[in-house]
Amino acid sequence: MAFEDDASCLCGSNRSYSNCCQPYLLNATVAPTAEALMRSRYVAYCKGNVDYLVATRHPSKRKFDDRINLVKSIKATVWESLSVIATHQGRKSDTTGYVEFMAVYSQPEWGQLHERSKFLKDEGRWFYVDGEILSPILPKRSQPCWCGSGKKFKRCHG
């Protein structure tokens, strides 16, 4: 996918891509917080930036087949939206952080990834360590569906 620099960033920050995740994905600077790294990793998945995803995974968690698995995942999934639900620590002055998020995907079918991710700061850089998969976030039947269709949940995925 191609993205224009002045287009809204895919991470949902309501900032332009050039003023949000692009500098991180271009290695012009490092993400200052765990949340910024998590958002930029989401954009890297959307854009198919395997190098960034490998580089921002904590070295102790990297595996020989990471690239192969990432390429397969990226080819098989279309990411639609990201919502940050909560953060714990992960600020510039911290060395650990947790970000809870929900990411919606549409391929092979509509679904969501609800995860609490752990991040570590090592030598001034944030790294993704691992994540705990959480139960899906289900709205009440009359609330808008989580997939962004505009339909009420009961008429969409309920």
- Domain borders along the chain are 17-156
Q: What is the pLDDT along the chain (158 residues), one digit of tens a residue?
A: 445 667 999 999 999 999 999 999 999 999 999 999 999 999 999 999 999 999 999 999 999 999 999 999 999 999 999 999 999 999 999 999 999 999 999 887 889 999 999 999 999 999 999 999 999 988 888 888 888 788 888 888 65
What integer pLDDT is reported at residue 110 of this predicted model?
87
What integer pLDDT is reported at residue 118 of this predicted model?
98
pTM of the entire structure? Answer: 0.91
CATH top-level class of 17-156: alpha beta
Residue given tokens 């287009």 in the structure block: 7
What integer pLDDT is reported at residue 20 of this predicted model?
98
